[in-house]
Amino acid sequence: MKPIRFKALAAIITICFLGLLSVSGSLWFAATTESDAAAINLAGSLRMQAWRLVDRVNSDKTSDNGLRQLITTYDSSFASPTLQRLADRTDIIGRRYQALVNEWHSEMRPLLRDKAGCRAFADKAPGFVDRLNDLVTSLQLHTERKLHWLVILAIFSLCSILAIGVMTIRYIQLNLIRPVEQLSKAAKKVRCGEFDHLRLDYRDANEMGQLTETFSAMADSLSLLYSDLEAKVSAKTRSLEQANTALQLLYESSRTLGMNPYDEDQLMLLLERWKQLLGLKSAYVCLTGNTASMRLQRIFPESETFNEICNVGQCEGCIQAPSSDIQFSLSQNDQGYGYLQISLHDGQCLTEESRQWLRTFGDIVSTSLYRSSYQTQERRLLLMEERAVIARELHDSLAQALSYQKIQVTRLKKVLERMGLEESVHLVVEDIREGVNNAYRQLRELLNTFRLSMSFGSLEEALQQTMKEYSKRDESVKFNLDYRLRFCHLDAHHQIHVLHIVREGLVNVIQHSGAKQATVVCEQVAPEKVQVLIDDDGSGFGKEISTPGHYGTTIMQERAESLGGQLYFESSGLGGARVRLEFSLL
């Protein structure tokens, strides 16, 4: 059997051919009928003109110009192009026209030359007009026959088109519409997951038959694969739900950490959520404030117990992760902040997608640490600028005044020596001079403290620089730094005041203790508590620690209070004095 498209194409071509045939016949009839109508009109006008000639002849006015004009008009009508085309025809119409032309020129027209002939013309005119009527009748009958054939052609075309249309509709109903309806019903069942009893009853060697057969085979295949597909879809759904939860967690991490400074409590909560989401054995972050430091602070969820392990402070072994653990480095702009450590259960394996999520989370933590460090540095710069302004003001005002007072006291002492006054007056002047010198020395130390630069680097680096500075100032004293702080989030306010307290304590060691060794210890004694120790092996504290001009203890106390902490003056394990500073980070 031929394919459906060939049958449809044949029906369309046949209908188009019949329509074209009908239209062509109509156009042909319209074109030919137009010339026939003109010929009928002219032939009819010849009858009227003949009677007008008869009327002119009977009126005895044969010599006037009117008769000649009528004859000329008659000649023109016979010679018109419309009637001239009739001469080319070989049927009865052509013969009658040719006979009328010959009769007019050979018999009728010559009679109009004289009066006797005009009377003969009037006698022959009725017969001539009858022959003109015969010509008109022939033309009319010829036109009617063409119209008859045109009607027959139109009826034939219409009946043929209707017959072909009916057969085409029936064929479409049997071979297209009904199979398509069956396919549509079967497709609805397939969409609802019903694969049983989907065999279609249409059988034919055409495209629709092949489609129904293929659809039935497809339904059988789907029926076999559907059960396995449900399991795969369920697994994929769980994977997508996990991915959605992970993306939501990344969004929350970015919002709480990436867009804000470092927050340890939020980091602990997020680590706990990652641990539950991915089913990890443990998840924690080890942070450092200095890239080269091996002292790392471990941040872990509250459900994990690593306190005793992490209090040891030996991080070299932990950095070498076991084979079952995964590490993600935390760095931003070439600055290292530690790593994210992931421990897996036995036999557990992380997918590449999960690794990417954790890697992104590590980047968010790094960004938070970088922002926190940047803001601390920015606040530190503001404090340094503020202190530099104060130092300039003190130098331009109080320092100049004290210098002037020193000069004046020296002059007063020389004047009193020349006057030879009592020894008590000289003692009073000497005390004034000593007080002015002490005030000037303390002012210079204060100016040096205000001009202290801590624009870059960490607190540990600033303290190391201080050790080097004071070692050069007094080579008889050996200065040591024991920096035990791990990643401890000290803001600019904390760092500046700690550095100033250490410097003022070391100045006291140099000026008053007579020590040979001084040690500065910085350590974190509790999760949110920092302790700073300044020990020396000198003479220790006197009875009145806060005596004006000695150790600068008043200034140190004020700085400790500004930190929200306490300053203690104790005996050192080295045999000298100890200054102990404790303050909370909260």
Asked whether the CA dihedral 11, 12, 17, 20 is positive or negative, the reply is positive
User: Which residue is listed with tokens 């004293």?
Assistant: 477
Q: How far is CA 477 from CA 34, 519, 532, in A?
A: 135, 10, 20
Whether the pLDDT of residue 52 is over 50: the answer is yes
Same structural domain for residues 174 and 261? no
Same structural domain for residues 20 and 160? yes
What mean pLDDT do residues 362-368 have?
83
Number of domains in the chain: 3
Task: Indicate the residue among 372, 404, 424 that finishes a domain.
Answer: 372
Residue 548, domain member (yes or no): yes
Whether the pLDDT of residue 276 is over 80: the answer is yes
Other residues' Cβ atoms within 10 Å of the Cβ of residue 563: 20
Residue 407: name the closest of 397, 415, 419 by CA. Answer: 415
What mean pLDDT do residues 172-193 have?
75
Residue 344: per-residue pLDDT = 83
Task: Read off the pLDDT band of 584 (50, 70, 90).
Answer: confident
Q: What is the DSSP string of 516-531?
A: SEEEEEEEEEETTEEE
Whether the pLDDT of residue 312 is over 50: the answer is no
Residue 448, domain member (yes or no): no
Q: What is the pLDDT of residues 123-178, one digit of tens each?
A: 777 887 777 777 777 777 777 777 788 788 788 888 888 888 888 888 777 777 77
At residue 353's C-alpha, the angle toward residues 349 and 358, to 5°, is 85
Whether the pLDDT of residue 11 is over 60: the answer is yes
Whether the pLDDT of residue 319 is over 70: the answer is no
Same structural domain for residues 176 and 258? no
What is the domain range of residue 312?
245-372
Spatial distance between the Cα atoms of 557 and 97, rounded to a whole number of angstroms? 145
Task: Indicate the residue among 316, 339, 372 that finishes a domain.
Answer: 372
Same structural domain for residues 42 and 170? yes
Task: Indicate the residue among 138, 153, 181 that finishes a domain.
Answer: 181
Spatial distance between the Cα atoms of 337 and 297, rounded to a whole number of angstroms? 10
Whether the pLDDT of residue 110 is over 50: the answer is yes
Same structural domain for residues 173 and 253? no
Residue 154, domain member (yes or no): yes
Which residues face 535 on adjacent strands? Answer: 519, 578
Whether the pLDDT of residue 271 is over 70: the answer is yes
Same structural domain for residues 166 and 45? yes
Whether the pLDDT of residue 411 is over 80: the answer is no
Q: Which helix (H) or strand (E) covers residue 283, if one does?
A: strand 282-287
Residue 130, domain member (yes or no): yes
> How large is the angle between the packed helices 492-508 and 423-450, nearest 10 degrees?
150
DSSP state of 28: H
Mean pLDDT across the chain, nearest whole number?
75
Residue 342: per-residue pLDDT = 84
* Residue 525 tokens, joined: 């004694």
Whether the pLDDT of residue 316 is over 70: the answer is no
Phi-psi region of 400 (alpha: psi -120 to 50; beta: other; left: phi over 0): alpha
Which residues face 529 on adjacent strands? Answer: 526, 584
What mean pLDDT do residues 85-112 have?
75
Q: How far is CA 349 from CA 234, 352, 353, 358, in A?
A: 20, 10, 12, 14
Spatial distance between the Cα atoms of 9 and 11, rounded to a whole number of angstroms? 6
| pTM (predicted TM-score) | 0.48
Which residues face 481 on adjacent strands? Answer: 520
Residue 226, domain member (yes or no): no
Q: Which helix (H) or strand (E) covers residue 570, if one does?
A: strand 566-571
Same structural domain for residues 125 and 9? yes
Whether the pLDDT of residue 179 is over 80: the answer is no
Residue 368: name the closest of 360, 343, 272 by CA. Answer: 360
* Residue 119 tokens, joined: 């009377």
Same structural domain for residues 172 and 253? no
Residue 520: per-residue pLDDT = 92
Same structural domain for residues 176 and 262? no
Residues 6+ positions from 25 with CB-CB distance below 8 Å: 149, 150, 153, 154
* CATH classification at residue 585: 3.30.565.10
Q: How far is CA 86 from CA 39, 97, 100, 514, in A?
A: 8, 7, 12, 152
Whether the pLDDT of residue 510 is over 80: the answer is yes
Task: Read off the pLDDT band of 186 (50, 70, 90).
Answer: confident
* CATH classification at residue 57: 1.20.120.960
* CATH classification at residue 323: 3.30.450.40
Residue 264: per-residue pLDDT = 76
Q: What is the pLDDT of residues 442-486, one digit of tens each?
A: 666 666 666 555 555 577 888 888 888 888 888 888 889 888 777
Contact 330, 286 (CB under 8 A): no
Q: What is the pLDDT of residues 523-568, one digit of tens each?
A: 888 777 889 999 888 887 765 555 444 446 777 887 888 888 888 8
Residue bearing the bigger pLDDT, 290 or 531: 531
Residue 62: per-residue pLDDT = 47
Residue bearing the bigger pLDDT, 580 or 436: 580
Same structural domain for residues 494 and 573? yes
Q: Counting Cβ atoms within 10 Å, is residue 142 exposed (0-12), middle (13-18) or buried (19+)?
A: middle
Residue 414, domain member (yes or no): no
Residue 268: name the closest of 254, 280, 285 by CA. Answer: 285
Same structural domain for residues 162 and 259? no
Residue 308: per-residue pLDDT = 46
The length of the chain, given as a count of residues: 586
Same structural domain for residues 140 and 53? yes
Residue 279, domain member (yes or no): yes
Q: What is the pLDDT of residues 426-444, one digit of tens each?
A: 677 777 777 777 776 666 6
Residue 214, domain member (yes or no): no
